[in-house]
Amino acid sequence: MGATRAIIRLDHLGHNIEEIRRAAKAARRAPMLCLAVKADAYGHGMIRVALAAAELGVDCLAVARVDEGIELRRAGVSLPILLYSLATPEECAEVVEHSLSPLVADEGQVRLFDALARRRERTLRVHLKIDTGMGRIGCRPDEAPDLARAVVECGSLELGGVATHFAVADGRDPEYTKRQLAAFESALSAIRAAGIEPGIVHAANSGGLLGHPDSWYDMVRPGILAYGYYPSDEQERRLDVRPVMELRSRVVFIKEVEAGAGVSYGVTWRAPRRTHIGTIPVGYGDGYNRLLSNRADVAINGVRYPVVGRVCMDQIMVDLGPECSVSRFDEATLFGYTPGAPTAEELANLCGTIAYEITCNVGTRVPRVYRDGGQ
Ligand SMILES: *Cc1c(COP(=O)(O)O)cnc(C)c1O
């Protein structure tokens, strides 16, 4: 195996899911758990994470693309699979074929899914998505009862649930989320008043799970928390979650350079003194963001060394200091769970983004190595 790989600690995933369960159990009844495995499980590897989640007793999985759902079915996943984004009309037959549970937000979709399910003599379970302030997909709250009725009356569809999604549940100010919840509540009441049973009611992403217990309903829908990160730095960190992914590589080359020696494209860094430069074969082609040039640290044998010069597509350089104690082929942690090493969150802050994007961007050429313990 090459030097660069992402260690995926499935035991940490299990631990985080237990923590989420423990937190959500503070509710009167424990809600079900739907784990987002979209975008290759936030970069962790969709199939392995999905199979582990099924073993951990997760109730439902969620993807964003129809192709992702099909891949899960082909891997033998039999759990319910929610489709968080909308399918194109051409994809809808496959949604039915593979028993994915789409979110529906308009009558046209309801009619199409009904026709496709009828043709296959099947019943398709759909979830009604209400837009209460995210402004992405979903019907208006006042349209929800008619749409729910359209679902239950059309014969080949079953109303599996009613859902909404939060825009700022991970924020400091709860007001906007409270307004979203109030809009969701009134839509739910109107659906029930119309004599329609809404099925599984769900709303909470990681932010809602952490900050809004009244949003837990019948099912919570975490993603990032299960992968060991908080959705933002604005919420109290009361769960003990651990990063699941660690991006590692090795120092493949070390050389001593004189003061003034330039490093990497554009020569944005010059040695201020005689020092040792280590080369690590990881770069933006692996998802190690170029914005980390001259900013991030890398941990080697428990010590942090600064990235110097620009991040290249396939390599970075670190300043190992005048008295170099690193040996060639020593292991380097770019980010992850090792105490003292940078976390994905730390790198995200340096890049002006969120931990989600750091783990998602770890490239497909980086092998994922699954572990159930160890280091
Ligand atoms: C991705 C997603 C989630 C999970 O969000 P996190 O912030 O990672 O917890 C939940 N619901 C929907 C609709 C999503 O798209």
DSSP string for 141-208: GGGHHHHHHHHHHSSSEEEEEEE---SSTTSS--HHHHHHHHHHHHHHHHHHHTT----EEE---HHH
127 lines ligand 1 (CB under 6 A): no
| Same domain for 214 and 313 | no
pLDDT at 28: 66
pLDDT at 27: 66
pTM beyond 0.95: yes
Give residue 199's pLDDT band: very low, low, confident or very high (50, 70, 90): very high
Total domains in the chain come to 2
Instruction: Give me the percent of the chain exceeding a pLDDT of 70.
Output: 99
| Same domain for 88 and 55 | yes
Tell me, what CATH number does 258's domain have? 2.40.37.10
Q: Provide the mean pLDDT of the chain.
A: 97
The helix (run of H) or strand (run of E) holding residue 331 is strand 331-335
Give residue 5's pLDDT band: very low, low, confident or very high (50, 70, 90): very high
pLDDT in tens, 39-89: 999 999 999 999 999 999 999 999 999 999 999 999 999 999 999 999 999
| Same domain for 326 and 189 | no
Average pLDDT over residues 145-174: 97
Tell me, what CATH number does 212's domain have? 3.20.20.10
Where are the alpha helices (H) located in the chain, listed in sequence order?
Answer: 10-24, 38-42, 46-55, 66-74, 92-97, 107-119, 144-153, 175-193, 206-211, 344-351, 355-360
**Ligand 1 atom at minimum distance from 225 CA:** 9
Residue nearest to atom 10 of ligand 1 (CA): 205
Please say whether the beta carbons of 72 and 63 come within 8 A: yes
Strands of the 368-371 sheet, one edge to the other? 303-306, 297-300, 331-335, 245-250, 5-9, 368-371
- Three-state DSSP state, 138: coil
**Ligand 1 atom at minimum distance from 221 CA:** 10
Q: Is the pLDDT of residue 234 over 90?
A: yes
Tokens 């750091």, residue located: 358
Q: Is the pLDDT of residue 107 over 70?
A: yes
Catalytic (active-site) positions? 38, 265
Give residue 25's pLDDT band: very low, low, confident or very high (50, 70, 90): confident
pLDDT at 367: 98
- Three-state DSSP state, 236: coil
Residue 42 lies in a domain: yes
Mutate to test the pocket of ligand 1, among 81, 221, 244 (most ligand atoms within 8 A of CB): 221
Average pLDDT over residues 305-314: 98
Q: How far is the CA of 206 from the centre of ligand 1 (A)?
A: 7
| Same domain for 176 and 52 | yes
| Same domain for 317 and 187 | no
Q: Which of 19, 17, 22 is nearest to 35 (CA)?
A: 17
The whole domain housing 276 covers 245-371
DSSP one-letter code for 15: H
| Same domain for 290 and 221 | no
pLDDT at 339: 97
Report the length, in residues, of the chain: 375
Express the helix, strand and coil content of the chain in percent, nearest 5 each.
35, 20, 45
Residue 7 lies in a domain: no
How many helices (H) and strands (E) the chain has is answered by 11, 19
